[in-house]
Amino acid sequence: MTDLDRSGSRIDHLNIAVPDLATAVAFYEPVLASIGITKMLEIPPNATPNQPTAMTGFGLDRVKPYFWLIDGGTVGTNMHLAFTVDTRDDVQTFYKTALAAGATSRLEPGVHPEYHDDYFGAFVTDPHGINLEAVCHHPEVTTG
């Protein structure tokens, strides 16, 4: 499978409940920054009547937050979250940064042809047990 556009997503935003928002933000802020995603918004508890807990939103290019961490929750069973990156070097950077921030390794960066020939990903477990991944869907770029 080559020359396919794998860039699209119809998900506008995603909320992840975590038992300790401060711990999650301390982990995700440097890890996501390593792939260009930044903390954009912090909402205190009870900011609106239907939002009793604190929330922190992350996004790309300062357009809008699309990844939210929600305080005081329980992480779901088999939760997996993958972030698309532009290069295989970005996958390596994500993996190293995540390990330095306290993640444990699940799978080192590598090609996973079971998904498609150019699927290059790395998998870690975050401090709350979430299976986290960075994936590049492009072939390795060679110069010369």
The strand pair at 131-136 and 80-84 is best described as parallel
Query: Is 41 within the bounds of a domain?
Result: yes
Per-residue model confidence (pLDDT) at position 51: 81
Average pLDDT over residues 83-100: 96
State which residues form the domain around 90: 14-136
> How crowded is residue 30: how many other Cβ atoms within 10 Å of its Cβ?
13
Query: Is 40 within the bounds of a domain?
Result: yes
Domains: count for the chain: 1
More confident residue, 100 or 144: 100
On the question of pLDDT at 31 being above 60, the answer is yes
78 torsion bin: left (phi>0), alpha (psi -120 to 50), beta (else): left
Query: Is 3 within the bounds of a domain?
Result: no
Per-residue model confidence (pLDDT) at position 1: 43
Which CATH number characterizes residue 67's domain? 3.10.180.10
Structure tokens given for 125? 């477990």
